[in-house]
Amino acid sequence: MSLQAYTAAATRAETPRDMEYRLFGQVTRALVHASTVDEKDLATRIDALDWNRRLWSTLASTCGESSNALPPAVRAQIVSLSLFVNRHSSAVMRGEETFQDLIDINRMMMQGLAPSAQQAA
């Protein structure tokens, strides 16, 4: 089976929640890797931080849509986390903070999105 066929089949079988989980995993791996490279490797660090910011920005913007089925309190928390991620990412680039808080937040989101969390709910 070709990679394209596998990717198409996997995408059709994924729920939106599964897709979010997978995306958080990819972004978090990029953040973990960026946290280990030399501080002079700006491209790797910026790429990971930017990808994470875009993920959180997208989540925050979807929380403002009337079709969003999440409870208002959860949507507000996601928007708040998005704002924190944005500020903290800037602090990481200035050398004032580390990647760890961003990695921890993403991992917590992944725990909530994990298939085992779906069954418990």
Looking at per-residue confidence, does 4 or 48 come out higher? 48
From CA 62, how far away is CA 65, in angstroms rounded?
5
Structure confidence at residue 31 (pLDDT) = 98
Task: Tell me if residue 32 falls in helix, strand or coil.
Answer: helix
Over residues 92-115, mean pLDDT? 96
Check pLDDT > 80 for residue 118. Answer: no
Confidence of residue 120 (pLDDT cuts 50, 70, 90): low
pTM: 0.84
pLDDT score for 11 = 57
CB-based burial of residue 22 (10 Å sphere; 0-12 exposed, 13-18 middle, 19+ buried)? middle
pLDDT band of 67, cuts 50, 70, 90: very high
CB 92 within 8 A of CB 99: yes
